Amino acid sequence: MSRRERTAAQAAPRWHREHDLPTGVLWPAVMAAAAGIVAMWPYTSVIAPGSWSLTVVVVIVVTGLTGMLTRTLLKRRPVWVRDLVTLGAQIVVAAATVTQLVAGETAVFGVIPTDTTLVVFQTLFASAAEQITFGSAPLSASPGLQAVLGAGFAVVAILLDQLVAQRGAVIAFLLTGVIGAMPMIVTVSGVNVVWFVMLAVLLILLLRQTAAQHPEAPRRSSAAVTAGVGAAALASTMIVAPVLPVSASLTGTGTGVSVDASLRLGDDLRQPNPVEVLTLATTADTAPYLRLTTLSEFDGQVWRPDRGDLQAQSEGFGAEDWGPGIPVEEQSTSIRVIRMSSSWLPVPYPATSVQGIPAAWRLSPDNRTIASRTADAAGNDYTVRSLDVEPTLEQIRETPAAPLTTDPDAEPVELPAVIGETADEVTADADNDYDRLIALQSWFRSEFTYSLETPVEEDFDGTGADAVAQFLDVRSGYCIHFAGAFALMAQSLDMEVRIVVGYLPGARTTTTRGEEAVYSVSSDQLHSWPEVLFPGIGWVPFEPTASLGVPTAFAAGATTGGGTGGATPTEPSAAPTAAPTTGPEVERPDAGDNAGATGQLRSLDPSPVLFTTLGVLVVLLMPALIRLSQRAVRRGRARRGDAASAWAELRATMLDLGVAVSDAESPRMRGADLVRDNGVDAEAMRVLTDAVERASYARPTEATAHGLDEALGSVLTRLRHSVDRPSRARALLVPRSLFASRGQDSPLLA
């Protein structure tokens, strides 16, 4: 055996015996399981807590344990046998685990799938697909999502385990990053700082594991370099993340909207990224307001939603609220709910019939709304027939408002005196109920300003009596404060009143459906407004909210339009140009272009997706950037005659490319090997070895510096060309030399 062969055999004899394991099976299994947990983490912000998370964690852990056990039992077998058997065992065990956790009662012994099991999974997958397509975040933890996520992360866990075991750190990291970033990208939500830090730490550990398993890596590693790369990766994460639209909380919000009747609409209106929640096509000249539910009972602190009797769709909405002498016009509105979760369906008022909804939805004749105790609004596509009730100005002035009705068994509510006193003062000049309400509407729109922040800053963000009194003093708030104050003031005038929760008409799009215009309604157009009951006419809405929509105004005589700009008499129009208002215009998130029918569709903000991608790339490329900087420093020293730096760069490049490096070789032996095996230029190699030998026994001279960097560049170029492209790519993205021992950089020893 030649000296070179003996040296190579001494350097790494057992790495070339294929029946040996790299460095054990415990650490790769732990790393694969950690990567799976990191990939799963962001899903906790878009799916409500439930059995799905336990299923995913169990699948990840069981998959890792199966791989570790199989590799241990087969450690004396050839590598290809060990890997193939391990993969098969993980697939079988993962499938059995998911079956047991999701549909164990349909399987033989709880783990062997049957035909019934397959049918159950098919049904669950279809249910989950519908929930994901039409639901809004956070999604409920349904059995369908448990099945989909359990099966999906079983595949992810197997892939990660195989990649880590095969030293595929970069691919494993990319897989983890893509799977984990998916919830943020799909929901266009903020980047989670904690997750980014976890991802950066995972990258460090994966690279450290890869370097430790490499056949030609030194037996000792440099903790200092590892710590340096880790600090740089974490620093980059913390530098990039703060400039993103980031939520540092561990639970995020998705793109959807969950609507209840609590009148805490401010939290929804203050969301930074409005999204489209529904679309509608209508035969009306302008899109109608859409109501979800009404609130009639006030206990002094909150308005409570009406809980009237619900009846089957076949029974209809009940008797008409308007008399035979009131002109009406039929209209049809087709509505598709996209990202709104609610137990009420949005409908125009007054609805007369509905088509296209499941039987679980029932009708409320008291307020002509549609509700369900089991179904959700998201995903429904239906058509509502409704009327445009158009009394003349004379008719409504001649009709007094219905007197306030109270429950004799309820505890009386004492309102602050300022509410009744202000109502009397504002309406003193009016001589009928309709004109009194118009006076209140005009007063609010001219004397108040719209603000989402003032109620929070002044601590009256609610609809209680005390909050209304403070709102009348501060004179700044948003829709629920205007509606609540208007309602209590109307009650003080002995009128039957209620508050409606629903949506503004939305923005008209360029799309049409036949002769019908299509409108888009966004989440920031959630709204509330008051209604007053006029016997023989019905519930008449008013729009007191400053700078929003069109105030209610009925036309005299036989004119059928509502207001000077064509606003319907039964629902105030939201078109900002339809009628002038006396209130000041203010900038607000739920007005703007999307507040009216003439606005343009709001496009989704792509910055979260772009910045998420940028953050992943920065973390991924950090080792490569550090290595390039290190190479530039060494090349600079080589130009000044530093032979040790030139030789250290040569050795580092060999490690990066996977070229065998033996610490027992002298510089001349290594140079001869590179010339013979890798096609390195002999003259350039001679310049390097001469410089190293001269530096070892004498002080550097100008002759030493001459041509050293050029020779190094030539050697490195030929060395890189001697390996295949995948090796060059790995050398760039995963520079193993960063994690190798730097104590061997002395030219005499290396």
Q: What is the CA 704 to chain-centroid distance, rounded?
A: 59
| pLDDT band for position 544 (cuts 50, 70, 90) | very high
Q: What is the pLDDT of residues 704-740, one digit of tens each?
A: 556 788 888 888 888 888 888 888 888 888 788 876 6
Instruction: Confirm whether 246 is domain-assigned.
Output: no
Q: Checking phi first, is residue 566 left (phi over 0); if not, alpha (psi -120 to 50) or beta?
A: left
Buried-state track 240-254, b at ≥16 Cβ within 10 A, e below 16: bbeebebbeeeebbb
Lowest mean pLDDT among 150-154, 506-510, 604-608: 604-608
Within 8 A by CB and 6+ apart from 149, the residues are 43, 47, 52, 55, 56
- Say if residue 350 is preceded by a cis peptide, omega within 30 of 0: yes
Q: What is the mean pLDDT of the segment spanning 579-586? A: 32
Question: Strand 290-298 vs strand 276-282: parallel, antiparallel, or unpaired?
Answer: unpaired
**So what's the pLDDT on residue 353?**
92
pLDDT of 137: 61
The end-to-end CA distance of the chain, in Å, is 22
Residues 323 and 444 grouped into a single domain: yes
Same domain, 547 and 678: no
Does the pLDDT value for residue 85 go beyond 60?
yes
What is the per-residue pLDDT across 108-135, written as a single tens digit (0 to 9) for each? 888 888 888 888 888 788 777 766 765 5
Q: In the prediction, which pLDDT does 18 show?
A: 38
My answer on whether 509 and 362 are in the same domain is yes
> What are 164-212's pLDDT values in tens digits?
777 677 777 777 777 877 776 665 455 566 777 777 777 777 766 665 5
Q: Which of 423, 446, 449, 447 is nearest to 436 (CA)?
A: 423
Contact present, 604 and 188 (Cβ < 8 Å): yes
pLDDT at 457: 75
Are 432 and 545 found together in one domain?
Answer: yes
Q: Indicate the Cα dihedral angle 308, 313, 317, 318, nearest 10°.
A: -90
More confident residue, 741 or 612: 612
In the listed set 580, 595, 610, which residue is the last one of a domain according to the structure?
595
Task: Tell me: cis bond preceding 747? Omega within 30 of 0 counts.
Answer: no
- Strand, helix or coil at 8? helix
Q: Is residue 712 part of a domain?
A: yes
pLDDT beyond 70 at 597 = no
Top-confidence residue, 230 or 364: 364
Ranked by mean pLDDT, the top range of 215-224, 517-526, 585-594, 596-605 is 517-526
Is the pLDDT assigned to residue 226 strictly greater than 50? Answer: no
Same domain, 585 and 713: no
- The pLDDT score that the predictor gives to residue 580 is 33
- Please give the residue that has the higher pLDDT: either 424 or 662: 424
Domain residues for 703?
627-739
Sheet containing 507-513, strands listed edge to edge, beginning at the edge strand earlier in sequence: 351-355, 381-389, 328-337, 276-282, 516-522, 507-513
Which of 192-206, 389-403, 569-583 comes out lowest in average pLDDT? Answer: 569-583
Tokens in use for 208? Answer: 């450290």
The predicted model gives 241-246 an average pLDDT of 38
CA-to-CA distance for 532 and 538, rounded, in angstroms? 8
CA count, 13 A, side-chain hemisphere, 428: 6
pLDDT of 546 > 50? The answer is yes
Residue 22 CA: distances (Å) to CA of 79, 525, 570, 575, 670:
10, 60, 77, 70, 26
Choose between 595 and 288: higher pLDDT: 288
Taking the CA atoms of 492, 494, 495 and 497 in sequence, report the sign of the dihedral they define: positive
pLDDT of res. 596: 37
What pLDDT sits at residue 486? Answer: 93
Q: Are 404 and 352 in contact (CB under 8 A)?
A: no
Task: Give the model confidence (pLDDT) of 30-42 as tens digits.
Answer: 777 788 788 887 8
Give the model's pLDDT for residue 401.
Answer: 93
Residue 561 has pLDDT above 60, yes or no: no
Binned at pLDDT 50, 70 and 90, residue 582 comes out as very low
Of 574, 595, 616, the one marking the end of a domain is 595
Same domain membership, residue 358 and residue 446 = yes
Kindly report which listed range (232-241, 403-412, 508-517, 663-672) carries the lowest average pLDDT score.
232-241
CA dist., res. 49 & res. 140, Å (int)? 8
More confident residue, 458 or 10: 458
- Tell whether 325 is covered by a domain: yes
Q: Looking at the domain assignment, is residue 600 inside a domain?
A: no
Q: Give the C-alpha separation, 530 to 495, whole Å.
A: 12
What type of residue sits at position 182? M
pLDDT tens figures, 49-70: 778 888 888 888 888 888 888 8
What string of H, E and C letters represents the secondary structure of 478-520?
A: CHHHHHHHHHHHHHHCCCCEEEEEEECCCEEEEEEECCEEEEE
Q: 351 and 411 share a domain? A: yes
Q: Which two tokens stand for residue 662?
A: 């033996």
Lowest mean pLDDT among 6-15, 101-110, 645-654: 6-15
Q: Give the rounded percent of residues in the chain with a pLDDT score beyond 90.
A: 12
Q: How far apart are CA 238 and CA 241, in angstroms?
A: 5
Backbone dihedral angles phi then psi of residue 303, each to the nearest 5 degrees = -90, 130
At residue 725, φ and ψ (nearest 5 deg) are: -65, -45
Q: Are residues 574 and 635 in the same domain?
A: no
Predicted confidence band of residue 382 (pLDDT cuts 50, 70, 90) = very high
Q: How many CA atoms lie within 13 A of 744 on its CB side?
A: 22
In a domain, 664, yes or no: yes
The answer to whether residues 591 and 645 belong to one domain is no
Confidence check: pLDDT of 290 > 80: yes
Residues 580 and 728 in one domain: no
Of the candidates 538, 243, 509, which has an alpha carbon nearest to the alpha carbon of residue 396? 538
Tell me whether residue 509 is in a domain.
yes
For residue 177, report the phi and psi dihedrals to the nearest 5 degrees. Answer: -65, -40
Number of domains in the chain: 2
In a domain, 620, yes or no: no
pLDDT of residue 346: 93
pLDDT exceeds cutoff 90 at 383: yes
State residue 370's pLDDT score: 92
Find which of 171-175, 185-189, 223-227, 489-493 is predicted with most confidence, using mean pLDDT.
489-493
Q: Do 401 and 541 belong together in one domain?
A: yes
CB 59 within 8 A of CB 153: yes
Range in 80-89, 145-154, 479-488, 551-560 the model is least confident about: 551-560
Confidence (pLDDT) at 497: 93
Question: In which band, very low, low, confident or very high, does the pLDDT at 308 lie, cut at 50, 70 and 90?
Answer: confident
Give the pLDDT band (50/70/90) at residue 530.
very high
Instruction: Identify the residue whose tokens are 């005659």.
Output: 641
User: Average pLDDT, whole number, for the chain?
Assistant: 75
Residue 533 reports pLDDT greater than 90: yes
pLDDT grade for 610, boundaries at 50, 70 and 90: low
Same domain, 387 and 479: yes
The H or E element containing residue 381 is strand 381-389
Find, among 133, 136, 137, the residue nearest to 125 by Cα: 133
Q: Which range is least confidently modeled, 204-213, 223-232, 541-550, 707-716?
A: 223-232
Over 60: is that where the pLDDT of 156 sits? yes
CA dist 329 and 716 (Å) reads 84
Q: What is the pLDDT of residue 437?
A: 94
Task: Read off the pLDDT band of 342 (50, 70, 90).
Answer: confident
Q: What percent of the chain has pLDDT over 70?
A: 72
Return the minimum-mean-pLDDT range out of 1-10, 198-207, 637-646: 1-10
Kindly report the CA angle at 673 between 672 and 678, in degrees rounded to 5?
A: 115
Pairing relationship of beta strands 344-345 and 507-513 according to DSSP bridges: unpaired
Q: Does residue 494 or residue 141 have the better pLDDT?
A: 494
Crossing angle for the helix pair 143-165 and 115-134, to the nearest 10 degrees: 100
For the ranges 299-308, 452-461, 555-564, 717-726, the one whose mean pLDDT is highest = 717-726
Q: What is the pLDDT of residue 635?
A: 87
Angle between the 417-426 and 479-492 helix axes, to the nearest 10 degrees? Answer: 80
Q: Does 227 map to a domain?
A: no
Domain stop point among 595, 614, 635: 595
Q: Which range among 207-216, 506-515, 702-711 has the greatest average pLDDT?
A: 506-515
**Is pLDDT of 427 > 50?**
yes
